[in-house]
Every structure is written in structure tokens, then in C-alpha cells.
Structure 1
């Protein structure tokens, strides 16, 4: 490899300070989700009324809540549930959205027209509802709980993926590369696997990185409304709601869980924007 090519490759893999910080934070969040029992200084459900409303100190760096439970330990254990919801809901929403978008943007044959039209209408109908309202509708039907939140977040995020895939599939099917492949005798499965799907999925995978943060924020909003895991489960949204009555008396009960939600959103946004820039200029 020439020195010019080596320098170009080095520039492509060099990370900015912001990107390095986002990666470090992402690794720490994953560690909290995978090994909370190793990182938390106290059991997250241990109640100690004598230690209630303690401000941040050496023993309890994030303070304690109204029941004397350690906020830092609850925040660390809360990462597992919040990130699990975010990752699972994003993955299922991505699969559902890609399938729906591919059908809506796919074949122009006459026999496929009713299916394509039905998929189009379903995407627009789901997209017409605000994400939180659609999630509340799902939970109203199924009832609160972790599974309901995953389903609610999946259904509320899938239309965005579906619309993007639909547009990407339609652009790819009318591109010069696909027309050339057809003239060379290539048929549907080969064209879709080599030309259409890679082109349509490239921006969606970047959007899915941003979607993890969006899913965590949406799940926290549902938890704040009391529709997530039942108390005293260490869930960030529920912790925000529990600390709301004591905002002036014990600010740490809301500031630290809220900061974690914000941190997840900022981290996934930074990583997603970085992937988008690198994909655009690669």
C-alpha cells in the first residue's frame, strides 16, 4: 500500500475527541447493563429508612431516596432494563420496518399492487400517530409491563424505518445499476440481495443507532407515567417520577436518573452522526 493510501486509511479510522468520549461512555453503559452486580456499591432494593434523603456523600455518591436506597446502585441496575428495552425494541422495530418498507417499495407487477398499496397505507396510518400516543394505545390494550413497553416502542418506531426503506427501495429499483443488471439477465433475488437491499439499508442502519437512544427516552417516558416496570424496580423513568415530589428537597433523586437518560441520548446521537459522516465520505 502506498503512503498516500496509508494516510487516507489512517484518516478514515481516526476518531475525534467527541467520538472517543461517546465510545467510552457507550462501553461504560454496556458494562453497567451486563455486570451491574459488580459495579453497584449497594443492593438496588435495600431499604434503610434511617439513611433516607441523604445528599451525595462518600458512602452514597449519588445520595439516597425517600426509602434510603442508594441512587447510584439503582441507576447502574436501571441501565440493564433501559438498554435492553432500547436494543430489543430497536432491533424488532428495524426488522418490522424493513420488511414493511420493502413490501411497500417493491415489485411493480400487477399481482403485487394490492399488497404494496396495503403496506403503503399501513405505513402512513402508523406514521400519522405520534410515537408516545401510539405507545400509550398499545399499553392501554395490553396493560403495563416490560413486554408491553417493548412492543409499544417497537410499533412506535417501526414506521420511521419503514418509510426510509420504502424510499430507498424505490430509488434503488430505478437506478442505473439495477437497469444494467436486468439487461445482463439478472433476476429478482440476485438484484435484491446485491443491489437493492444494501442501498436501501445503509442509511437505515445509521438511523437505528440513533433509534436506540430514542427508544430509551420513550421507554423512560412511559416509566415516568407509571406504565413500565412496577415499583420498586430500578427503572430510570420510574425513578424520575419518584423523585418529582422531592425536587426541591432532594434534587439528586431526579438529576442523576435524568442525566443517565440524557447521556444515552447524546451518546447514541454522537455515534450515529459519526457513522453517517463516515458512510457519506468513505
Structure 2
């Protein structure tokens, strides 16, 4: 059951830009709630495929930052549900205030009966003792959007999740079964045989933080893409070859020589340093192969 004010809050207040006094940065990190079906800015042609599925339910977001664009004060909103997090929105203060009021009414602030009180039936009573029947009205369909997904039980199920809600009110207790070293500590340390990976170079240290599973997945995706797009990528890309490609890209990012061809063949520094052999990248990977994989 919702009060009469809760049923109309999402359709009142105009979408106008009002003067913003100093101190309105306090809205940053506030939670907002909107019903997409009642918000024109969420029902554009581009957004309907994503937000149309919500219907008359509401979704919750967080105000991330305040900025000024073309002399207008705007607020950036990001959604708590990962299903919608690829979309960010910049709204005026009128829209923002409506969203804050929506969330306040839906979550029931301390100035009004709490939502838990409205759902909890005291012993021997059907309604809370302070509830007035004339102030209560049933609102159908005004519920929070829920993707209706069961908790995953395996890594494969986790990887297929398309939506996950991040609730800022949820708290977790720290795990009590952490791995302990022989000395009883739980601090992270590098194994002696792996120290070289973190001390060889900055790029080597970066790559060491990314699990091998990730790179193997990239290898599979590259080869699959070549097959689908009919790219003659023969022989198939291997993990070792992918690491060479990543190393070349790192080298190019810190040594800008313009076109790719400038990195292969005789290099200007060879004649300066008196190198008998070319220091070009053909010693690492042929240019044609690099372009083929890069494609």
C-alpha cells in the first residue's frame, strides 16, 4: 500500500531549469528514483529498447557529479543496476529534485511512516496502529524493477549475468577463512620464482596482473572473429604471438614513429649506433602478420 502522494509524485513538478544557489553540490552522491514510462528523457528512440522493459516499475540511480555545460548546471546520473550502466544521463536540477523526491517517498524517510512499518503487521492487528485508512490507497504496478535472477552457483553462471544491482545500503562481513601463510599472516606477497615478472619492466608488471585465462580468451575471440569475417589468419594466433603483439603496441605507444611501416626495416638509429643488423620489428613479427592480426 502506498499513500496518495506516492502515486502522483513521478508525474508532478515541471522539467524546468531553476536558479541554482551555492551549495547545491550536496546533491552529489544522492540516490534518485524514476519510472521510465513516465519520463520522456528515458523514452527516446535510442533508450526505449533498454528502459522500455521496466514498464511502470522504478529504477534507482546515484548522482555522480555536478558540472556546467553551456551555462546550465547539470547533474550526471548513473544507475545501480548493471543492466542500465552503459547509459549515463545529464539532467537539470528540476529533473534531479523530482528523482530525489521519488526516492525519498519510495524508501520512506524518517519524517513519514517507514516502509517496513507499512509491511509489518503487529500482533493482533491488520494495519500499523498509526495508519489512517482514508490516507491509504492501493497502487498497482508501482514496484521496484527486479531482473528476477537466481544467485549464481558457478563461474559459468557468473559470466552469463547481464544485470546486477549494486545496493549502497547492503553491508557484508569480512571473510573469516582467508588463506594464511606459514607465519600466520594474510598479506599478499609475490612468490620468489615470479619476482622477475614484476621487476623486468613496467609492461611486464602490468601483464602479470592480468590472468592467463583472460589472454587465452582473447586468442579464442581473435581466431573466431577471423573465421566469421573470412580473414585468412593462417596459422591461427597463439598465446605467445599475442604477447608479442601486445609488446609491439606498448613499444609503439612510447616510441611514436608515425606509420606502422616506420617500425620495420632499417631504422635511423642503426646508422647512428653502428648496428650491423637492423633493429626493426621484423625481428619480432613480420609487418604483414602484424597488420593481419591487428585487423
TM-score grouping bracket, smaller chain normalisation? under 0.3
Larger fraction in strand: 2
Structure number with bigger Rg: 2
Q: Which has the higher contact order (CA 8 A, sep 6+)?
A: 1
* TM-score, with length taken from structure 1: 0.19
Task: Point out the structure with the larger helix share.
Answer: 1
- TM-score after normalising by structure 2: 0.19
